[in-house]
Amino acid sequence: MAIGLNATEMDASYGLAESLVSEVAVLIVGYRNPHDIVECLLALSRATTSPAFDVFICENGGEDAYCHLVSALVGEGGPCLRGEARGTGIGDNISRFTGVERLVLRARSSNVWVACASDNLGYAGGINAWLRPLSAIPTWRAIWILNPDTQPTESALAALHKRAESGRKAMVGSTILDSLDADHVRFRGGLSWQKLAARDVAIGLGDLLNASCNTAAVEDAMDSPSGASMYVTRWCIERIGLMDESYFLFYEDMDWGLRARHLGLGYAADSIVVHKRGTTTGSAKGSSAIPVLSVYLQHRNCVRFVRRHFPWSLPLRVAVSVLYALRFLLQGAPSNSRAAIEGLVAGLRGEMGRPKERMAQ
């Protein structure tokens, strides 16, 4: 299967036309996990008819991963059909992609644009790579960022849209459930930053799903929606700008949410999203099984986040990372103990962006 059109050809044949972008743009960043994305799109296919949405996927895993993803989406049992090549070009705004193909959901009229990133752009880079061309299209009013390993319920998007519109909220979070324990909450809306502990905590962690909830209290506690399901209005993006790609992976969503907090963060309790957690990063596994790169970036990027938003608490953050390293060691994960310390040191030195040497390892 060919990689698809180059940038010039895409400009002529596969660019985005205004009529092809619905009220909500669903953004998904994948990395060699086609099965997760197939399951996510099958769930989206069952969504309520309003608001209308289109899907924009950035595959960060290279040409082979892109080809496998498209094949999985249009294959037997897949959620998509191939779309016709049509549209108006948008020029250099798609220069970060080496190929784009337009598909259509079988169960509804939503378009699914699948793009192959020119390199591993990271989480924020994959989101921004689509936001830049979308900025030239006036028809959409919000984006919905979904992790590829999520499965939203039928009314999840409608609930997010309703809360954003009724409450004039800049960003809105969902009720996130762990696929291994769907009776208990993983996140109510998102995250809260504990200033005196220099760490983020999940709001509502462990709550029974059907337990009563004070929405206003959750929204007051929120510093960011969970990046697993993050509904962001267009007017918010136009005010605070794009995600910060210097994080590459981890804390870019928290940074974005905190930047938007003064504009209003919302929680849509009826927006239920089941999250497998960690199928790409391995973060759902035991201490010794968490990838070293994930540990390294979590501690490196947290230092960057603290320096930007809570610089007075940097000594506290250093102590927290050291304690994490000690815990890894006691749990029989010496490689991750070392990675936590090395990430801490890299953060203090000001390292940012993609850690190329570590990714090569």
Q: Given this model, what pLDDT does residue 13 score?
A: 38
Residue whose token pair is 């743009």? 25
Q: What is the DSSP letter of 97?
A: E
Q: Under a CB-based contact definition with an 8 Å cutoff, are residues 5 and 13 in contact?
A: yes
Give CA 215 to chain center in angstroms: 23
Q: Given this model, what pLDDT does residue 149 score?
A: 97
Q: Lowest-confidence range among 180-189, 200-209, 283-292?
A: 283-292
Nearby residues of 161 by Cβ (< 8 Å), 6 or more positions away: 24, 50, 51, 142, 231
More confident of the two residues 182 and 333: 333
C-alpha–C-alpha distance, residues 260 and 324, integer Å: 29
- Residue type at 188 in one-letter notation: R
The 10 Å Cβ neighbour count of residue 18 is: 12
The secondary structure element, H or E, covering residue 322 is helix 314-330
Q: Given this model, what pLDDT does residue 3 score?
A: 37
Q: What is the mean pLDDT of residues 240-258?
A: 97
Confidence tier at 180 by pLDDT (50, 70, 90): confident
Angle, CA 134 vertex, CA 160 and CA 68 arms, to 5°: 85
C-alpha closest to that of 28 among 90, 73, 76, 87: 73
Residue 278 has pLDDT above 70, yes or no: no
C-alpha–C-alpha distance, residues 227 and 256, integer Å: 10
Q: Which two structure tokens, joined as six digits, stand for 8?
A: 């010039």
Percent of the chain with pLDDT over 90: 83
Confidence tier at 288 by pLDDT (50, 70, 90): confident
Q: What is the mean pLDDT of residues 341-348?
A: 98
**Residue range 202-212, pLDDT digits in tens:** 999 999 999 99
Q: 334-349 vs 292-309: helix axis angle to the nearest 10?
A: 30
C-alpha–C-alpha distance, residues 186 and 188, integer Å: 7
Q: Under a CB-based contact definition with an 8 Å cutoff, are residues 57 and 28 in contact?
A: yes
Nearby residues of 1 by Cβ (< 8 Å), 6 or more positions away: 67, 70, 71
Give CA 346 to chain center in angstroms: 24
Q: 252-260 vs 122-134: helix axis angle to the nearest 10?
A: 50
**Residue range 88-107, pLDDT digits in tens:** 344 446 789 999 999 999 99
- Residue type at 201 in one-letter notation: V
Transcribe 34-91 into DSSP letters: HHHHHHHHHHHHTS-SSS-EEEEEEE-S-HHHHHHHHHHHHSTT-SEEEPP------G
Confidence tier at 289 by pLDDT (50, 70, 90): confident
Q: What is the mean pLDDT of residues 14-43?
A: 87
**Gyration radius of the chain over CA positions:** 20
269 HSE (CA, 13 A, CB side): 14
281 HSE (CA, 13 A, CB side): 21
Q: Given this model, what pLDDT does residue 88 score?
A: 36
More confident of the two residues 250 and 277: 250
Burial of 224 from C-beta contacts in 10 A (0-12 / 13-18 / 19+):
buried
Q: Under a CB-based contact definition with an 8 Å cutoff, are residues 98 and 6 in contact?
A: yes
Q: Given this model, what pLDDT does residue 84 score?
A: 67
Q: Under a CB-based contact definition with an 8 Å cutoff, are residues 333 and 307 in contact?
A: no
The 10 Å Cβ neighbour count of residue 241 is: 12
More confident of the two residues 172 and 183: 172
C-alpha–C-alpha distance, residues 107 and 87, integer Å: 22
Mean pLDDT of the chain: 90
**Residue range 109-167, pLDDT digits in tens:** 999 999 999 999 999 999 999 999 999 999 999 999 999 999 999 999 999 999 999 99
Q: Given this model, what pLDDT does residue 277 score?
A: 67
Q: Which two structure tokens, joined as six digits, stand for 133?
A: 């061309």
- Considering the entire predicted model, what is its pTM? 0.91
Residue 10 has pLDDT above 50, yes or no: no
C-alpha–C-alpha distance, residues 67 and 116, integer Å: 9
Q: Under a CB-based contact definition with an 8 Å cutoff, are residues 99 and 116 in contact?
A: yes
The secondary structure element, H or E, covering residue 166 is helix 156-167
